[in-house]
Structure 1
Amino acid sequence: MKKHILLPALFLSFSTVIAACGSDAGTNSANEQAPAIQEGAAEEENKKDAASYPVKLNETVTLDEVIYSDDGLKGFKAKLKLTVTEVTRGQEAYEQLQQVNKSNKPAPEGFEWVLVKVKGKLAEAETEEFPYWLSAMNFKFVSEDGDIYNQEASAAVPNELDAELFKGMEEEGYFADLIEIGDEVTLKYETLDARVFFQTQ
């Protein structure tokens, strides 16, 4: 009779061990996935920090960028040094635009022109075959409320920012847009691989 009682007890003990092992395996699996989740959270937090602490006017920031081949299949690491050197607003900005082209129109009611000068240098690059494209299209003004201006306005500017940079090259240029009068905007530069915010005053 004791033998019949002992066998179920042994089976129960063995099952408990298997269950415990399975539980440990599940814990390890969860732990292996945790870093990816944490990295994603950290990346999102870094983006928030970038918006909260914009780079000051005339200060240079170095961005980790990627240069892509013409077919987009290969990527090469690069470092871009970026500086916002001038920001002109209101009537002064409009007068400068008028000097470039008399057909530039005044800002509509409630808005003002902003003229920005940017300097960029491709400090490092893993390729000398393909260039990095530095363009005004990657810049957007962000309002105090966090809304992005859509760059619907167009104006002829002096030396428009639109340059192909090879390793060691440096270029500078301008772009302009309309914003609401008095809006303390920040300036966002964003590509597929980098994002940074700049102060405008």
Structure 2
Amino acid sequence: MNKFKYITLLGFSSLLLAACGESSDVTVESVSSNSATSTAEEVSSEAESSEETSAPGKRSNPVSIGESATWDVLYSDADYNPLEGTVTTTISNIIRGEEAINQLMEANEFNEAAPEGYEWVIFDMSLVLDEGSEDDPFNTSTILITPISSDGSEVSQSTYATFEDGTAFGWKDLYKGGNDSGKVGLIIPEGDETLIEISDMNTSVFYKLK
């Protein structure tokens, strides 16, 4: 289980339970603003009307490398009053296997090799709080990052990656317009078409690693 799942505050959990429980629509678009296909690639949950294509960001229609996903999030102020926001997330610079463990060992000699049959994957993750409070922060530790193997199972994490100080994603307070960018390291089945599930506990968005 991803370590971010252990830090969810009781008040935040209560807030989500009190919410309607409906996931947000997800918009996916090309990261490159110069792409001629950006407008054509921008989609929303209207894709659900298609019998052949599920909504963008679903496990059956994951976000591709070079694309970003935008959706609404629910968080709270210090008194657990509900706040609404919008985030955009992007995954990039994906490395796996030997290159990944070599980078981890350079970052911290106490990082461990993946168990037999598994490999490390490292990627850069960026989250921008496009809309949100000017006075109460959205903390990125509330975002869950979970590998889901091709057989549909969550990949348990027997160890966690350690990066140089200040280079890991997460644990940052963001106000409207703020950005958190950093590295994420996870263990996944070797050679598997594993997806990364990014969730705010209300909406889940799946990303490809290849």
Note closer, same or farther for the CA distance 1:142–1:136 as it changes in structure 2 (3 Å cut).
Answer: farther
**Residues 136 and 175 in structure 1, CA contact (< 8 A), matched pair in contact too:** no
- Partner residue of 2:59? 51
**Residues 88 and 128 in structure 2, CA contact (< 8 A), matched pair in contact too:** yes
Q: Distance in 1 between matches of 2:100 and 2:163?
A: 10
- Partner residue of 2:115? 108
- Partner residue of 1:33? none
SS in structure 2 at match of 1:154 = coil
Report the Cα offset of residue 134 of structure 1: 1.6
Say which of 88, 97, 122 aligns to 1:90. Answer: 97
Which range is displaced more, 129-138 or 154-163?
129-138
User: What does 1:1-201 correspond to in 2, within 5 Å?
Assistant: 49=55, 50-72=58-80, 74-125=81-132, 127-135=133-141, 138-158=144-164, 159-162=167-170, 163-201=172-210
Moved over 3 A (4+): none
**What TM-score do the two structures reach when normalised by structure 1?**
0.71
**Residues 144 and 201 in structure 2, CA contact (< 8 A), matched pair in contact too:** no
Q: Distance in 2 between matches of 1:182 and 1:167?
A: 39
SS in structure 2 at match of 1:152 = coil
Residues 91-144 of structure 1, C-alpha deviations (whole Å, 9 max, x = no match): 00001101101111222211111112101111111x222211223861000000
The residue type equivalent to 2:207 in the other structure is F
Higher helix share: 1
Q: C-alpha root-mean-square deviation of aligned residues, in Å?
A: 2.3
SS in structure 2 at match of 1:51 = coil
The residue type equivalent to 1:141 in the other structure is P
Q: Distance in 1 between matches of 2:129 and 2:143?
A: 18
Q: Distance in 2 between matches of 1:100 and 1:174?
A: 11
SS in structure 1 at match of 2:119 = strand
The residue type equivalent to 1:175 in the other structure is V
- Partner residue of 1:32? none
Report the Cα offset of residue 86 of structure 1: 2.1
Residues 159-186 of structure 1, C-alpha deviations (whole Å, 9 max, x = no match): 1111221111112011212111111100
Question: For this pair of structures, how many residues does the alignment match?
Answer: 157
- Partner residue of 2:3? none
**What TM-score do the two structures reach when normalised by structure 2?**
0.68
The residue type equivalent to 1:107 in the other structure is A
**Residues 110 and 181 in structure 1, CA contact (< 8 A), matched pair in contact too:** yes
Residues 69-93 of structure 1, C-alpha deviations (whole Å, 9 max, x = no match): 1232x11111101101122110000
Report the Cα offset of residue 58 of structure 1: 2.4
Which range is displaced more, 134-143 or 51-60?
134-143
Note closer, same or farther for the CA distance 1:107–1:137 as it changes in structure 2 (3 Å cut).
Answer: farther
Q: Distance in 1 between matches of 2:168 and 2:97?
A: 19
Q: Distance in 2 between matches of 1:149 and 1:136?
A: 19
SS in structure 2 at match of 1:135 = helix
